[in-house]
């Protein structure tokens, strides 16, 4: 492979890694935020129910009852503060998701357009295995030799790419669930 | 340690072939072809032409069943430096295909024999 092709492929892989990092970022951030929100709510609910239990047991004018009322007020105030914390956490979550999304959107065209001199089909390297790229390129050359109109050529290649994406990323994965694992090959 | 005949027979018995699998094995028998060549061999006489999207899942299936194997070809300028995979039938693949073909042949002979017998009987 030519050095410039290798460089292009490296950039494509960088794009892939960025996309992957963005996606993992979204998942981790969402999980952390959701767990912390759930813990906050659980703690406040359990504390409030405890205080209410004590205040019901104590006589109305007793100092303990007054103390319970003070505690309940304190809990109410802290709940308000927690709600603000929750809003802050949600804001952080939205920001994280937004950033990851922006990163993904940025990474994609960056990896595709890094080398304008390469044909667009190089961009498919991000999504399809090497052998399918080789076959698609060979098909493209063949159709070009047949002097097919450009729109027809583009339509055919786009259809093939879309069908291959479906076949390789979904159909084959489902199919592999019911098949034995790949055996070690010694043909290479 | 060599495997017993029973184990080999069991392995062969468990292999099932779809129509596409059988077509691909027939085309690949005794030679190495890449994807587009397989399609070129199959499609001219096929009522419903195969596409890459049907070919690759079938080849993956056949590979996992141990019926075909592949090797990387050289990098081609015309394919932008990407390499092709050259597929060939394994011993198990050839055996399985042969047994399916023998079964079809026996079925055809039986059907023809039955037809003639029926005609004679009438």
Q: Please tell me whether residue B82 adopts helix, strand or coil conformation.
A: coil
- What average pLDDT score do residues A181-188 get? 53
Contact between B27 and B38 under an 8 Å Cβ cutoff? The reply is yes
A145-182 pLDDT, tens digit each: 888 888 888 888 888 988 998 999 889 988 888 877 76
CA distance to partner chain B, nearest, from residue A124 (Å): 12
CA distance A120 to A115: 10
CB-CB under 8 Å, A163 with B53:
yes
Rounded to 10°, the helix B35-42/B19-28 angle is 110
pLDDT higher for A82 or B20?
B20
| Residue that is written with structure tokens 């007020």 in the block | A73
Q: What is the ipTM of this complex?
A: 0.76
Q: Which residues make Cβ contacts (< 8 Å) with residue A27, sequence separation at least 6?
A: none
pLDDT higher for A74 or B16?
B16
pLDDT higher for A133 or A115?
A133
CB-CB under 8 Å, B51 with A188:
no
- What average pLDDT score do residues B11-36 get? 84
Residue B39 is predicted with a pLDDT of 94
CB-CB under 8 Å, A187 with B71:
yes
Residue from A122, A138, A159 to probe the interface with B (highest B Cβ count within 10 Å):
A138
Contact between A44 and A86 under an 8 Å Cβ cutoff? The reply is no
CB-CB under 8 Å, B83 with A131:
yes
For the entire predicted model, the pTM comes to 0.57
Count chain A–chain B contacts defined by CB atoms under 8 A: 95
Residue A186 is predicted with a pLDDT of 45
- Partners of residue A118 in chain B, C-beta under 8 Å: 80
CB burial string B70-106: b at 16+ within 10 A, e below: beebebeeebbbbbbbbbbbbebbbbbbeebeeeeee
Rounded to 10°, the helix B19-28/B91-121 angle is 110
Lowest mean per-residue pLDDT among A70-74, A169-173, B52-56: A70-74
CA distance A100 to A22: 5
How many CB atoms are closer than 10 A to CB B56? 23
Residue B54 is predicted with a pLDDT of 92
CA distance A177 to B90: 23
- Partners of residue B52 in chain A, C-beta under 8 Å: 132, 135-136, 160, 163-164, 167
A160 touches chain B (CB under 8 A): yes
């Amino acid at each position: 492979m030519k050095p410039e092709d290798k460089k292009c492929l490296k950039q494509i892989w960088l794009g892939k890694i960025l996309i992957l990092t963005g996606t993992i970022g979204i998942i981790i951030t969402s999980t952390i935020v959701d767990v912390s929100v759930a813990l906050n709510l659980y703690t406040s609910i359990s504390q409030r129910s405890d205080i209410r239990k004590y205040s019901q047991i104590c006589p109305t004018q007793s100092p303990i009852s007054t103390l319970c009322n003070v505690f309940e007020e304190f809990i109410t105030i802290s709940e308000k503060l927690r709600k603000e914390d929750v809003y802050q956490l949600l804001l952080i979550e939205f920001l994280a998701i937004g950033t990851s999304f922006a990163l993904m959107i940025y990474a994609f065209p960056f990896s595709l357009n890094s080398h304008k001199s390469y044909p667009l089909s190089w961009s498919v390297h991000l999504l399809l295995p090497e052998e399918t790229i080789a076959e698609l390129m060979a098909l493209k050359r063949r159709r070009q030799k047949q002097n097919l109109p450009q729109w027809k050529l583009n339509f055919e290649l786009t259809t093939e790419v879309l069908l291959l994406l479906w076949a390789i990323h979904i159909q084959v994965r489902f199919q592999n669930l019911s098949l034995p694992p790949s055996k070690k090959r010694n043909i290479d | 340690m060599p495997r017993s005949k029973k184990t080999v027979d069991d392995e062969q018995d468990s292999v099932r072939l779809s129509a596409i699998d059988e077509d691909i094995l027939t085309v690949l028998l005794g030679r190495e072809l890449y994807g587009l060549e397989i399609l070129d061999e199959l499609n001219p006489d096929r009522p419903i032409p195969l596409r890459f999207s049907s070919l690759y899942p079938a080849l993956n299936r056949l590979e996992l069943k141990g019926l075909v194997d592949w090797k990387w070809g050289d990098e081609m300028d015309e394919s932008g430096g990407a390499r092709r995979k050259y597929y060939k039938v394994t011993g198990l693949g050839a055996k399985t295909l042969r047994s399916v073909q023998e079964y079809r042949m026996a079925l055809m002979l039986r059907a023809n024999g039955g037809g003639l017998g029926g005609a004679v009987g009438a």
